[in-house]
Amino acid sequence: MSAKNPEHGSAHEVSLPPEVKLLQEVTPPFFPEGGSGMTILVEWPPGHPGLPPHRHSGPSFGYVMEGAVRFELEGEPERVVEAGGTFWEPGGDVIHYQDGNALSDAPTKFVVTMVCAPGQPMLKLVDEEELKERAHLRAPRPSEG
């Protein structure tokens, strides 16, 4: 089923049956021909910090099934996405700082569909030198006020 109906605009303008719930609708950046995609299931144990800062070569779309994800993208304040919530990132140059379990006493499970640019890795870690160079682009941390 397509989220968009070209004759009627976005999915929320189209009458969907009650069994179908629109969770997220975004306009991702252009994606070139020849890309690929994957859907992954992530299951972090209580308190797991998630992946180190990284980038995705294309846009990613996520849904939290259980628990809560601490989510932070470059230029945006960190936030907690609870079960039933969605998140997305544009990919490309944007650093994804956090995707860890926000709960210290329960596991967290989420699904992410990622689109990969042609000839690029799906995920690339960001080194300490680049993090320092781009520190001015990161939103203030909660402990920084």
In a domain, 99, yes or no: yes
pLDDT surpasses 80 at 4? no
Amino acid at 99: D
> Which secondary-structure segment (H or E) carries 128?
helix 128-133
pLDDT surpasses 60 at 5? no
Per-residue confidence (pLDDT) for residue 84, from 0 to 100:
96
* Paired tokens of 132: 């320092």
Q: How many CB atoms lie within 10 A of CB 100?
A: 19
| Tally of structural domains, the chain | 1
In a domain, 1, yes or no: no
Per-residue confidence (pLDDT) for residue 133, from 0 to 100:
97
Q: Is 34 exposed, middle or buried, given 0-12, 13-18 or 19+ CB atoms closer than 10 A?
A: exposed
Range of the domain at 90: 32-135
pTM of the model: 0.80
The model's confidence at residue 1, banded by pLDDT at 50, 70 and 90, is very low
pLDDT surpasses 90 at 68? yes
In a domain, 61, yes or no: yes
pLDDT in tens, 97-132: 999 999 999 999 999 999 888 888 889 999 999 999
In a domain, 7, yes or no: no
* DSSP three-state, residue 12: helix
Q: What is the CATH number of the domain that holds 36?
A: 2.60.120.10
In a domain, 120, yes or no: yes
In a domain, 14, yes or no: no
Is 97:144 a contact under the CB 8 Å cutoff? no
